[in-house]
Structure 1
Amino acid sequence: MTQVKVEVSLYEQDYLLWIEDVVNKLRNRDIEDLDFDNLIEEIESLGRSDKRELESRLRELLEHILKRNYVNMPDCYRGWVESIIKQRIGIRKLLKDSPSLKPYFSEVFDEVYADALQIVRKSYPQCYFPDTWPFSRDIEAMLNVDFWE
């Protein structure tokens, strides 16, 4: 019986070591030995990660703006406003690092609003929440306007 030796790539063996290896090869301009397939996959995933982060932060921002506006629980206002501030800071920093995400903000707004609406309606069935976003969708407004004042 012959044994087949399966070669496991560095990427599969030790991700951190693979990253260090790729960085060293890039610094040394050693493009001949680069693991292009995995490098391309990793770079693509960075963009997807930023998009997912933007969606997540926007969803939480919308949830808490909705709660602050439509849920009559004054004892919770402070926590919701705090969360709104944190998400706005996070979105601002993300857009500063990747300004090309700004069109994506508008592109996913309706889908993210639908998700936020599903969450708040489930959590607060006694409260009314509008089917469509009732305030400005402009990025600057979303990051600066206190819609409840």
Structure 2
Amino acid sequence: MITMPTVQNHPVTSSNSLYDQDFYQWLMITVKLLQERAIEQIDIDNLIKELEETAKRTQITVKSNLRVLLMNLLQYKYQPSVRCETYQSSLLKHRLRILDIFAQSPSLKPYYTEVFDQCYLYARKCAVTQTNLPLELLPETCPFTQEETLNLDYLPQ
């Protein structure tokens, strides 16, 4: 159980905000104030900032996992001689991470579609640096559909 700090213990001035001095305590106090519906006491500006940052971090997590997933799919397809369980494990791990995010936040599915092609371009460049394959060998457009990319059983041939 989380112990909630009391609001009265920390007088806050603009030059010494609790948000800047002790983020965790600021967070716990904000939760408590929200639970008490004490909206007028909440540090609204920093709360908005944190909510926006949380949304951005979630998008970054989707992109990061998608890039690694696409890079591993490329490596699996275009370097069959080095296929191993590590690639399959990585494919599964990154697919599950993305699918878990979608299960918790289905509204991020359109974002996946929006960034898919950009992520493929980055994954293509990363795959070249990791495999020493010539860039021309890897197609400019993604050889995998968005559905195949997230399909837990799909392995390119």
* % identical aligned pairs: 34
**Which residue is equivalent to 2:141?**
132
- Written as runs of structure 1 = structure 2, the 5 A alignment for 1:137-148 is 137-138=146-147, 141-144=148-151, 145-148=153-156
Structure 2 counterpart of 1:72:
80
* Residue 70 of structure 2: aligned partner: 62
Runs of 4+ in 1 over 3 A off after TM superposition: none
The change in CA–CA distance for 1:33 and 1:80 in structure 2 (over 3 A counts) is same
Question: Structure 2 matches for 1:3-22, cutoff 5 A?
Answer: 7-22=15-30
Aligned residues: 142
Gaps (5+ residues) in structure 1?
Answer: none
Match runs of 1:32-51 below 5 Å: 32-51=40-59
2:124 is aligned, of 107, 117, 123, to 117
Q: Which residue of 1 aligns with 2:3?
A: none
Distance 1:17 1:51, change over 3 A: same
Gaps of 5+ in 2: 1-12
Instruction: Report deviation, 1:6.
Output: 7.1
Q: CA RMSD in A?
A: 1.6
Q: TM-score, normalising length from structure 1?
A: 0.89
Output the TM-score relative to the length of structure 2.
0.84
CA shift at 1:113, angstroms? 0.6
Tell me, in whole angstroms, the C-alpha distance in 2 between the residues paired with 1:35 and 1:64.
44
Deviation (angstroms), 1:143? 1.6
Q: Distance in 2 between matches of 1:37 and 1:67?
A: 45
Deviation (angstroms), 1:146:
1.6
Q: Structure 1, residues 15-55: CA drift from partner, whole Å, max 9, x if none?
A: 00000110110011101111000000001111101100000
